């Protein structure tokens, strides 16, 4: 068995992917941007002389950007840049966590539905359809009423609850086709258990579309968090998040535009980067797009 160098094939696929990704300058730039933004949001607050909730004196309210406060101050005298960095931590964390949870749920449901087919498939897919058809808003109101408070974990789980259906459908479709591949039949022939086939063979081969899906969804979920803040269901002040900073600053657009532009540009640039990266990944990873 050692004569067959199966690792060669896997390595060369990802090698090809990264080679193609590097050709896409925009996607490369986006990846760098996301990396920088994440690092800055994690480390930045330690370098700031201000705390996110440190309120200034009433005379210092709504100050425009200056040397001491690079992005000015908000209506309570807090430093906008520091809040932006803390908010970035929260928004990015919600983005990553919600997509991660949605994928885990989606994989579990989609993999078993796609691999086993038949009755299990029908039951799981009907369940997915029902969840898909339940309107989001009343569920949101109820969830907020049942679990008061608005922690990052709760918001991420709520967003995942509304988003796992798409990943489940996609993974089910993937598994339906991967199930017919020759290596699946070979694995079954040598007696591999279904669980082993699913987790050790089929799942690694469906990683590419999952990664693309995840990248594109992170951007979408960051915006979703902002929308939830608009409706009043997002992260509650005084904890900053890009979403609630944007929402709370809108009234002051004419007198303190930096308060709106800071989180707005932050969201826009970050989500744009995720979208470009996801699109670049999709172009790089799709085997049918070989040129």
Q: Which residues bind other proteins (CB under 8 A)?
A: 26, 129-130, 132-135, 137-139, 141-142, 145, 219-220, 223, 226-227, 230-231, 243, 246-247, 250, 253-254, 260, 264, 267-268, 271-272, 275-276, 279, 282, 286, 288-290
Taking CA atoms, 30 is separated from 27, 182, 266, 272, 282, in Å, by 5, 37, 14, 8, 14
Q: What is the distance between the alpha carbons of residues 280 and 283, in angstroms, rounded to a whole number?
A: 5
Smaller CB separation from other proteins, 13 or 132: 132
Q: What is the distance between the alpha carbons of residues 216 and 282, in angstroms, rounded to a whole number?
A: 10
Shortest distance (Å) from residue 199 CB to other proteins: 28
Smaller CB separation from other proteins, 156 or 277: 277
Whether the upstream peptide bond of residue 47 has omega within 30° of 0, thus cis, is: no
Smaller CB separation from other proteins, 195 or 289: 289
Shortest distance (Å) from residue 39 CB to other proteins: 21
Shortest distance (Å) from residue 167 CB to other proteins: 17
Burial of 84 (0-12, 13-18, 19+ CB in 10 A): buried
Shortest distance (Å) from residue 46 CB to other proteins: 29
Shortest distance (Å) from residue 4 CB to other proteins: 30
Which value, to the nearest 10 degrees, does the dihedral of the CA atoms of residues 258, 259, 264, 265 take? 30
Q: What would you measure as the largest C-alpha separation in the chain, in angstroms?
A: 77
Smaller CB separation from other proteins, 56 or 264: 264
Any bridge partners for residue 73, and if so which?
79
- What DSSP letter does each residue of 215-246 carry, written as one string? HHHHHHHHHHHHHHHHHT-SPPTTS--HHHHH
Q: What is the distance between the alpha carbons of residues 206 and 193, in angstroms, rounded to a whole number?
A: 19
Smaller CB separation from other proteins, 26 or 195: 26
Smaller CB separation from other proteins, 71 or 267: 267
Shortest distance (Å) from residue 3 CB to other proteins: 34
Non-local CB neighbours of 82 within 8 Å, separated by 6+ positions: 45, 48, 50, 51, 52
Q: What is the distance between the alpha carbons of residues 262 and 282, in angstroms, rounded to a whole number?
A: 30
- Look-up of token digits 């520091």: 82
Smaller CB separation from other proteins, 205 or 275: 275
Shortest distance (Å) from residue 286 CB to other proteins: 8
């Amino acid at each position: 068995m050692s004569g067959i160098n199966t690792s060669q094939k896997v390595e060369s696929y990802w090698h090809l992917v990264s080679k193609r990704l590097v050709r896409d300058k925009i996607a490369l730039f986006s990846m760098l941007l996301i990396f920088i933004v994440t690092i800055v949001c994690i480390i930045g607050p330690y370098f700031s002389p201000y705390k996110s909730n440190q309120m200034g004196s009433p005379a210092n309210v709504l100050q425009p950007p200056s040397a001491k406060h690079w992005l000015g101050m908000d209506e309570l005298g807090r430093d906008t840049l520091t809040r932006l960095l803390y908010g970035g931590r929260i928004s990015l964390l919600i983005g990553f966590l919600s997509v991660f949870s949605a994928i885990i749920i989606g994989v579990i449901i989609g993999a078993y539905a796609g691999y086993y087919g038949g009755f299990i498939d029908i039951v799981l897919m009907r369940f997915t359809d029902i969840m898909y058809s339940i309107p989001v808003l009343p569920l949101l109101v109820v969830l907020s009423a049942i679990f008061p408070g608005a922690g990052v974990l709760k918001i991420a789980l709520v967003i995942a609850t509304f988003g796992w259906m798409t990943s489940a459908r996609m993974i089910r479709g993937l598994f339906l086709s991967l199930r017919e591949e020759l290596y699946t039949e070979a694995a079954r022939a040598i007696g591999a258990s279904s669980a082993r086939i699913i987790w050790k063979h089929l799942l690694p081969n469906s990683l590419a579309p999952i990664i693309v899906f995840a990248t594109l969804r992170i951007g979408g979920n960051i915006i979703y968090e902002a929308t939830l803040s608009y409706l009043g269901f997002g992260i509650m002040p005084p904890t900053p998040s890009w979403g609630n900073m944007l929402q709370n600053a809108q009234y002051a657009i004419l007198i303190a535009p930096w308060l709106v532009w800071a989180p707005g540009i932050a969201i826009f640039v970050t989500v744009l980067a995720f979208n470009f990266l996801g699109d670049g990944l999709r172009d790089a990873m799709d085997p049918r797009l070989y040129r």
